[in-house]
Amino acid sequence: MNDDDRWMSRAVELARRSPRSSAAFAVGAVIVGADGAEIASGWSRDVDPLVHAEESALLRARGDLTGATLYSSLEPCSKRASRPEATCASLIIAAGISRVVIAWHEPDVFVTCEGVALLTAAGVDVVEMPEFAERARAVNSHLLPARTTPRSTRRAWPR
């Protein structure tokens, strides 16, 4: 198992800890330093009913996050009704995280998400690991209308 597989597995497992909601996805996130060690982790609604996984992990992170990678079981949000000024994509960019790895793109259930586009426009390397999409979607199946077909290969977006 390579490091990306290891950390994405952890993010997907953390998503399972999210309290069930009919109005928000269950997401897990892990921040890993350039040295390969875990800096922080979080999951949806772990410290309050409105917190997102990436936001929770960032709140727990200490120190310089330059060179860090954030693993998320779902594309980081770009629009947010509860805290419009604190989208996960904007928080990641502000933190200086240079790489984000996701399991799947946020479907247009609650909002149209443009997290990947915002991150790449800011110079963040984004990698999708579709081999984890099914596991990440499973915890959110009650929110998903029609089943979408996952992409079959890993994808990295150009900066």
In this structure, is residue 62 part of a structural domain?
Answer: yes
In this structure, is residue 45 part of a structural domain?
Answer: yes
Residues classed as catalytic: 54
In this structure, is residue 61 part of a structural domain?
Answer: yes
**Domain CATH code at residue 99:** 3.40.140.10
Q: Look up the pTM and report it.
A: 0.85
pLDDT of residue 78: 82
pLDDT per residue of the chain (159 residues) written in tens, 0 to 9: 579 999 999 999 999 998 787 667 789 999 999 999 999 999 999 988 988 899 999 999 988 999 999 999 988 988 777 777 789 999 999 999 999 999 986 665 555 667 788 899 999 999 999 999 889 877 876 666 655 544 445 556 555
Q: Which residues of 23-51 are buried (b: 16+ CB within 10 A; e: fewer)?
A: ebbbbbbbbbbeeeeebbbbbbbbeeeeb
Tally of domains in the chain: 1
